[in-house]
Amino acid sequence: MTLKSGRKLAVVGALSILAISSLALHAAAADGDLAPPRTAHDERYKADILLVIAHPDDETGDVATYLSRSIFDEHRKVAVVCITRGDAGGNSVGGTRQAALGAQREIEARQALAFLGIKNVWFLDAHDTPEQDVLSSLEHWDHGSVLGQVVRLVRMTQPAVVITWLPNAVAGENHADHQAASVVATEAFDLAGDPTAFPEQVADVQKDLRINAEGLRPWQPQKLYYYTDAFDASGYWLSTPVPSSPFRKNFLDGAGPMYAATDVSGSRHLSYARLSAEETSFYLTQDGGVGQKALESGSFKDFEYPMRFIFGKSLVGGTMTGDIFEGVTAVEIPFSRAPGFRADIARNKPVDLGGPWGFYREFWKAHGVEHIAKLLPVPEMRCKAGANVHIPMVLRNEGTVDQEFRLHAELPDDWSDRTRNQTYRVPAGGSYSLEAIIEVPQSESSGWKEVTWNAESNRKQIGSVKVHLLVMRAEAQ
């Protein structure tokens, strides 16, 4: 045998071995040794928009006009998370209350949202908290538990856009649950893409290893928008005209995109206001009668207010007042970490508002939505003539020795300061939380008033804080 022929035999032998190995691999795959492809996301739950609200009917009115446009004419998929069932609300058509009412309101919401074509709706188990302090709602809800549930649903629905209530105290209905829903939704926006946040949700399912994981994927939404029930927004719920603030313009002007309710749906050949009225009419325990009346009369003026959004944040560019889907991409975007809390002693004031206002100051910074603070530079709230107004405040001593602070309130004529104490000893480097109490006279007319508190130490003014109060007489409530 020649050397050349020996090489040929070696090559043929090697090729034979490769062929046999290839056949063996195919045989092994046929026998099931090759792992199956990873399960893809369940497209039945994929949404373009995830709406996070507090109660059944929170989407009625102005929001429903936008949802009608988005679903019927822009062909967006919308999913809804309702954190409570509204079990503490009133009932316009029956005697049921509490859990029974919550069960009824859930059915009303499912029917109303189905009218808009929304089928993916989740109701969480938090209780309706009829207060105005966001911290109270977060406490009653079990904040961490609710947050985990909303993060799960963001990961399940994989929305490009999250829409929720405004995280701020406003002069309007100002429901604490509305604010709490916005806090949780904002947090979920910033956490759902982080694999270390609620990691059990995104751990791979491995049955053979008995790991009880959920098998979801981290998901980063692209844009966040807010809406509000402030008097500035207007809507069918505003039965009595409210005087405009003399201290500022409408804070919604230029804050985000606006959509006309009087536009006509190209697919339904009805105005979005009319569609909104019909969606509202399902909520008979609440304000559904307003929608029914509009349908019967053919007058939809109560639903013709424009939908005015407040821009929250965008991770894909776009302008503040541009369309909600401006810049949105079909490509999944990477996780973007929020700034997070950073203590900044230099920004602390000797006297400032506490409670929800103090929380929001830090919350906005931590979540990269600090521009929300500019909407209402002077905090404001509604109060009743003849009522006592309770304002949480905090005094801070950044010095190295103990100090005495004295508070003095500048009030409108005939108003009274009912705060228990006027002088407070604040330790060096410490703070003192208190509650200022202002009595509004029964004779006070409806309108806006300004209240100022001045803080003094060693007979020198060291700081001040203001609040604008919208006084409403009983007949105007």
pLDDT digits (tens, 9 = 90+) for 388-406: 999 999 999 999 999 999 9
In the sheet that holds 431-439, the strands lie side by side as 351-353, 388-396, 431-439, 416-417
Helix then strand count (H, E) for the chain reads 9, 17
Q: Which residue has 């979920």 as its token pair? A: 188
Positive or negative, the Cα torsion across 426, 429, 433, 436? positive
In the predicted model, what is the mean pLDDT of residues 134-163? 98
> Could you give the percent of the chain with pLDDT greater than 70?
91
CATH 3.40.50.10320 spans which residues of the chain? 43-314
The side-by-side arrangement of strands in the sheet containing 223-227 is 121-126, 78-84, 49-53, 161-165, 223-227, 310-314
Phi, psi (degrees; rounded to nearest 5) at 50: -115, 120
CA distances (Å), 90 to each of 87, 123, 139, in order?
9, 19, 22
According to DSSP, the residues that pair with 426 across neighbouring strands are 403
Residue 347 scores a pLDDT above 90 = no
Rounded distance between C-alpha atoms, residue 394 and residue 111, angstroms: 46
Position 208 confidence tier, pLDDT thresholds 50, 70, 90:
low
255 phi and psi angles, rounded to 5 deg: -80, -15
Categorize the per-residue pLDDT at 66 as very low, low, confident or very high, splitting at 50, 70 and 90.
very high
As given in the structure block, the two tokens for residue 414 are: 């005939």
Inform me whether the pLDDT recorded for 15 exceeds 80.
no
Which amino acid is located at 406 in the chain?
Answer: R
Average pLDDT over every residue of 248-261: 97
Residue 32: which residues within 8 A CB-CB, separation 6 or more?
Answer: none
Rounded to whole angstroms, the Cα distance separating 370 from 236 reads 30
The pTM assigned to this predicted structure is 0.92
Angle at 420 between CA 417 and CA 426, to 5 degrees: 115
Query: Residue 80's pLDDT is what?
Result: 98
- Distance, in Å, from the CA atom of 315 to the CA atom of 166, rounded to the nearest integer, reads 19
User: Picking from 224-238, 314-328, 425-439, which range would have the lowest pLDDT averaged per residue?
Assistant: 224-238
- Per the structure block, which two tokens stand in for 423? 């002088």
| 67 contact partners, CB below 8 Å, separation of at least 6 | 49, 51, 59, 78, 116, 118
Question: What local confidence, expressed as pLDDT, does residue 289 receive?
Answer: 97
CATH 2.60.40.10 positions along the chain are 377-476
The CATH homologous superfamily to which domain 43-314 belongs is: LmbE-like (3.40.50.10320)
The pLDDT-based confidence of 207 (bands split at 50, 70, 90) is low
pLDDT of residue 86: 97
| The Cα angle at residue 86 between residues 358 and 474, in degrees rounded to 5 | 70
Task: Say yes or no to pLDDT of 475 above 80.
Answer: no
Strand partners, 450: 468
> What's the confidence (pLDDT) of residue 1?
47
What confidence score (pLDDT) does residue 25 get?
46
Residue 26: predicted pLDDT: 54
Per-residue pLDDT, 376? 97
Residue 209 confidence (pLDDT) = 55
DSSP 428: T
Q: Does 13 score more than 80 pLDDT?
A: no
Tokens of 418: 């009912």
Question: Which residues are 313's β-sheet partners?
Answer: 224
CATH number, domain 377-476:
2.60.40.10
Task: Taking each helix axis as running N to C, give the angle between helix 134-141 and helix 176-191, from 0 to 180 degrees, rounded to the nearest 10.
Answer: 70
pLDDT mean over 259-271: 98
CA 108, CA 201: separation in Å to the nearest integer? 31
Helices 355-366 + 134-141 axis angle, to 10: 80
Q: How far apart are CA 269 and CA 273, in angstroms?
A: 12
Q: Which pLDDT value is given to residue 473?
A: 86
Both tokens assigned to 293: 């009346």
pLDDT of 205 strictly over 90 = no
Average pLDDT for the chain? 92
* pLDDT tens per residue across span 94-137: 999 999 999 999 999 999 999 999 999 999 999 999 999 999 99
pLDDT at 22: 52
